[in-house]
């Protein structure tokens, strides 16, 4: 594994026809999660845009690294407030191979609060929910090679 791309703390994965490396990086609010991953070279907050197999792999990774946590960040947000979620690489969540929204999501709300960041919820079958970006959730960083 080339050291310049991923340190040995990253876990290798090839599930989607692309090469991925994943790394668990503690917990934080969404903005901190984003910058934490950016600080790791080519890494970004994990994206869940590659279909069922990749989705299952990401969930399994979450379960093994954060067994007591119910939610964790994926790299999707709507910081430009156009009611359309984008992945951290700029592509639209709607253009993913498959989406995993919970019924009624995205609704850009979390109770009465604005929700512009996306988490996977383990207890709801690993489906996605838009939640408040200030929530403290586990961070999984990804490096993806073309």
Which residues would be at the binding site for Ca ion (CB under 5 A)? 78, 80, 82, 84, 107, 115, 130
Dist CA 54 CA 1 (whole Å) = 21
> CB of residue 107 vs Ca ion: minimum separation in angstroms?
5
> CB of residue 124 vs Ca ion: minimum separation in angstroms?
11
Dist CA 24 CA 64 (whole Å) = 10
> CB of residue 116 vs Ca ion: minimum separation in angstroms?
8
Rank residues 19 and 121 by Cβ distance to Ca ion and give the closer one. Answer: 121
Rank residues 43 and 115 by Cβ distance to Ca ion and give the closer one. Answer: 115
Dist CA 42 CA 97 (whole Å) = 23
Rank residues 20 and 86 by Cβ distance to Ca ion and give the closer one. Answer: 86
Rank residues 64 and 107 by Cβ distance to Ca ion and give the closer one. Answer: 107
Rank residues 49 and 130 by Cβ distance to Ca ion and give the closer one. Answer: 130
User: Between β-strands 19-28 and 137-145, what pairing exists: parallel, antiparallel or unpaired?
Assistant: antiparallel
> CB of residue 134 vs Ca ion: minimum separation in angstroms?
14
> CB of residue 19 vs Ca ion: minimum separation in angstroms?
28
């Amino acid at each position: 594994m080339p050291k310049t791309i991923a340190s040995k703390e990253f876990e290798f994965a090839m599930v989607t026809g692309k090469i991925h490396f994943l790394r668990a990086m503690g917990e934080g609010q969404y903005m901190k999660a984003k910058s934490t991953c950016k600080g790791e070279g080519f890494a970004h907050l994990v994206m869940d845009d590659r279909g069922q197999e990749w989705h299952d792999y990401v969930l399994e990774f979450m379960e093994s690294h954060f067994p007591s946590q119910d939610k964790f960040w994926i790299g999707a947000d709507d910081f430009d407030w156009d009611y359309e979620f984008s992945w951290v690489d700029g592509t639209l969540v709607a253009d993913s191979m498959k989406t995993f929204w919970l019924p009624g999501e995205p609704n850009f709300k979390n109770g009465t609060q604005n929700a512009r960041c996306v988490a996977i919820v383990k207890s709801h079958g690993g489906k996605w929910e838009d939640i408040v970006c200030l929530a403290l959730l586990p961070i999984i960083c990804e490096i993806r090679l073309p």
